[in-house]
């Protein structure tokens, strides 16, 4: 017993630490002392962690809420419970679980409150588990809580080939006769059509408003808008009477490279939709804002909402109605490369991170910054070839 306690005290865990807002040089791999669980906590050995667009915006200093620097980022992970607190009775060592929090998931071992993690369905892989929570909770709550999605409605999904986009398309197909418009680059159209997108639109070469009006002159019933800026106005104008637009991001604010652009942020903010309670009376349209980050921040008061949604998502997964699509998996030491891939909007589905193994730690001559820069150069070269 004494030797076990001694080994735990000397044990180190590996994590990605963000030391400040900026480029990839603000990310580093750091060792932290192992911490045993308190009475109501569990220790999880992480298999995979999710990368989300919010992580990119946090790194650039464009996202709120954000912990005090330095901190370990990451909203979600999957893994195996390796220790439990004395008051924990609903989980056991060896359980396969998914977990999420406001930060801290990009580590090979995490300690979380027991009611922040959930047993995975038997058929759910660790990869799928790490891809499920943030994307599918976001899509589900936007479509069904805010959007009140019902049969014979139409939905516009921006960034339809991303993690939230694929999740939303799949969830739309659980309701009868829903027409789905999805914006994505042309090479991704076959993928989103297979997922259930009725009308893919290439945002590089087509005006999505004009294309939708050709098919549905009156517009659409529900819009999921992660873009904001000018698109927030165009979306509102595209709604049918009694339609709903849900703003849940500001991708137009994010710079395509390492660092934020204050000019881009100001331009996006300046072009955002603005109204008041009197002005919207005559339009017969609804607007809503959704921010999972703040729901996670107040998880003690919102955990019942989260639990109900997760229970429903597990049911849909077990029935084969939804299935997370994995894009690529990157080791912790290549997080910059993973982020650049998402910045470039190359991903189709979810990008995952995994703890470094021995082969990764033996090949750390490239920094996170260099890896991301090489990825960006390769992408630029592909465009010119």
The DSSP-derived string for 297-352 is HTHHHHHHHHHHHHHHHHHHHHTTS--PPEEEEEEGGGHHHHHHHHHTT--SBEEE
Domain assignment of residue 385, yes or no: no
CA 330 vs. chain centroid, Å, equals 16
Residue 254's pLDDT band (boundaries 50, 70, 90)? low
Q: Which residue has the tokens 């480029």?
A: 23
Provide φ and ψ at 339, rounded to 5°. -65, -40
Looking at the predicted structure, is the pLDDT value of residue 1 above 60?
Answer: no
Residue 277's pLDDT band (boundaries 50, 70, 90)? confident
Looking at the predicted structure, is the pLDDT value of residue 251 above 60?
Answer: yes
Per the structure block, which two tokens stand in for 18?
A: 């963000």
Both 154 and 82 in a single domain?
Answer: no
| Secondary structure of residue 181 in the 3-state scheme | strand
Domain assignment of residue 366, yes or no: no
Domain assignment of residue 156, yes or no: yes
More confident site: 63 or 366: 63
Both 179 and 47 in a single domain?
Answer: no
Both 90 and 3 in a single domain?
Answer: yes
Last residue of a domain, one of 265, 289, 313: 289
Q: What is the pLDDT of residue 5?
A: 57
Q: What is the pLDDT of residue 275?
A: 81
Q: How far apart are CA 146 and CA 309, in angstroms?
A: 13
Domain that holds residue 344: 1-133+298-354
Q: What is the pLDDT of residue 373?
A: 55
Both 65 and 98 in a single domain?
Answer: yes
Q: What is the pLDDT of residue 262?
A: 63
Of 151-165, 224-238, 262-276, give the lowest mean pLDDT range.
262-276
Looking at the predicted structure, is the pLDDT value of residue 286 above 50?
Answer: yes
Quick one: average pLDDT of 153-160? 98
Domain assignment of residue 104, yes or no: yes
Q: What percent of the chain has pLDDT over 90?
A: 74
More confident site: 76 or 303: 76
Determine contact, residues 243/286, Cβ cutoff 8 Å. yes
Residue 278's pLDDT band (boundaries 50, 70, 90)? confident
Both 97 and 171 in a single domain?
Answer: no
Both 305 and 285 in a single domain?
Answer: no
Q: What is the pLDDT of residues 304-330, one digit of tens each?
A: 899 999 999 999 999 999 999 999 999
Looking at the predicted structure, is the pLDDT value of residue 250 above 70?
Answer: yes
Per the structure block, which two tokens stand in for 348?
A: 């189709």
Q: How far apart are CA 354 and CA 338, in angstroms?
A: 11
Both 98 and 218 in a single domain?
Answer: no
Q: What is the pLDDT of residue 63?
A: 84
Domain assignment of residue 383, yes or no: no
Domains held by the chain: number: 2
Both 2 and 129 in a single domain?
Answer: yes
From the list 63, 95, 383, 35, the residue with the least C-alpha distance to 249 is: 63
CATH number at residue 51: 3.90.180.10
Domain assignment of residue 380, yes or no: no
The DSSP-derived string for 101-137 is -SS--SBSEEEEEGGGEEEPPTT--HHHHHHHHHHHH
Q: Which residue has the tokens 């750091």?
A: 30
Both 241 and 122 in a single domain?
Answer: no
Q: How far apart are CA 36 and CA 105, in angstroms?
A: 16
Contacts of 260 (CB under 8 A, 6+ apart): 21, 60, 61, 62, 254
Dihedral over Cα of 332, 329, 316, 183: its sign: positive
From the list 214, 257, 252, 259, the residue with the least C-alpha distance to 231 is: 252
Q: How far apart are CA 166 and CA 210, in angstroms?
A: 23
Residue 364's pLDDT band (boundaries 50, 70, 90)? very low
Domain assignment of residue 193, yes or no: yes
Of 86-90, 136-140, 175-179, 357-361, give the lowest mean pLDDT range.
357-361
Of 123-127, 198-202, 377-381, give the lowest mean pLDDT range.
377-381
From the list 347, 374, 362, 356, the residue with the least C-alpha distance to 160 is: 347
Q: Which residue has the tokens 């982020």?
A: 339
Domain assignment of residue 375, yes or no: no
Determine contact, residues 131/77, Cβ cutoff 8 Å. no
Q: How far apart are CA 369 and CA 289, in angstroms?
A: 34
């Amino acid at each position: 017993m004494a030797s076990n306690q001694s080994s735990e005290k000397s044990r180190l865990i590996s994590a990605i630490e963000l030391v400040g807002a900026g480029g990839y040089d603000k990310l580093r791999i750091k060792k932290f002392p192992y911490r045993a669980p308190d009475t109501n906590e569990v220790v999880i050995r992480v298999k995979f962690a999710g990368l989300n667009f919010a992580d990119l915006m946090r790194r650039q200093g464009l996202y709120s809420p954000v912990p005090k620097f330095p901190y370990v980022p990451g909203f979600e992970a999957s893994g195996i419970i390796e220790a439990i607190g004395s008051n924990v009775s609903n989980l056991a060592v060896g359980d396969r679980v998914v977990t999420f929090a406001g930060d801290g998931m990009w580590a090979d071992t995490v300690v979380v409150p027991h009611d922040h993690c959930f047993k995975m369905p038997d058929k759910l892989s660790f990869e799928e588990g790490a891809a499920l929570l943030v994307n599918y909770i976001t899509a589900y709550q936007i479509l069904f809580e805010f959007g009140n999605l019902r049969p014979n409605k139409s939905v516009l999904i921006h960034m339809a080939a991303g993690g939230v986009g694929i999740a939303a398309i799949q969830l739309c197909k659980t309701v009868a006769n829903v027409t789905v418009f999805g914006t994505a680059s042309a090479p991704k159209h076959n993928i989103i059509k297979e997922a259930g997108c009725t009308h893919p639109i290439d945002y590089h070469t087509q005006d999505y408003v004009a294309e939708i009006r050709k098919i549905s002159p009156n517009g659409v019933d529900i819009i999921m808008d992660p873009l904001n800026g000018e698109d927030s106005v165009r979306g509102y104008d595209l709604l049918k009477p009694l339609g709903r637009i849900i703003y849940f991001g500001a991708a137009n604010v994010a710079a395509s490279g390492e660092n934020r652009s204050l000019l881009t942020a100001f331009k996006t903010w300046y072009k955002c939709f603005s109204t008041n309670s009197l002005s919207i009376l005559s339009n017969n349209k609804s607007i809503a804002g959704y921010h999972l980050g703040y729901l996670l921040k107040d998880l003690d008061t919102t955990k019942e909402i989260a639990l109900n949604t997760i229970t429903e998502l597990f049911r849909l997964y077990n029935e084969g109605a939804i299935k997370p699509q994995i894009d690529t998996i990157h080791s912790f030491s290549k997080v910059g490369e993973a982020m650049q891939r998402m910045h470039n909007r190359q991903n189709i589905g979810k990008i995952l991170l995994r703890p470094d193994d021995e082969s990764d730690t033996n090949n750390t001559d490239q920094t996170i910054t260099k890896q991301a820069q090489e990825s960006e150069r390769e992408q630029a070269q592909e465009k010119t070839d």
